[in-house]
Amino acid sequence: MVVVIPRVYADWSSALERFAQGGDDESVLHAMRQGQLDWTPGVATMFSERINEVFDQRLKALGSRLDRSFKYCRDEVDVVRALLDARRQLTVLHWLASLEVLPEVLRSHLQALLQKAAQAMQQSLEDGARSQRSDALLRTLRQQDLRHFQAAMPVPVPAAGEPPPSSVPSKRRSFLV
Cα 173 to Cα 15, 33, 100, 153, distances in angstroms:
23, 17, 21, 10
Residue 154 has pLDDT above 60, yes or no: no
pLDDT for 159? 47
Q: 79-136 pLDDT, tens per residue?
A: 999 999 999 999 999 999 999 999 999 999 999 999 999 999 999 999 988 988 889 8
pLDDT for 20? 95
Which residues lie closer than 8 Å to 19 by C-beta, 6 or more apart?
Answer: 25, 28, 29, 32, 54, 58, 96
> From CA 33, how far away is CA 40, in angstroms rounded?
19
> From CA 86, how far away is CA 66, in angstroms rounded?
7
Q: Per-residue confidence at 60, pLDDT binned at 50, 70, 90?
A: very high
> From CA 144, how far away is CA 163, in angstroms rounded?
37
In degrees and rounded to multiples of 5, residue 81 shows phi and psi of -60, -45
Q: Where are the chain's structural domains? A: 9-143
Which residues lie closer than 8 Å to 75 by C-beta, 6 or more apart?
Answer: none
Q: pLDDT > 70: what percent of the chain?
A: 84
DSSP string computed for 60-103:
HHHHHHHHHHHHT--SHHHHHHHHHHHHHHHHHHHHHHT-TTS-
> From CA 10, how far away is CA 43, in angstroms rounded?
10
pLDDT for 175? 31
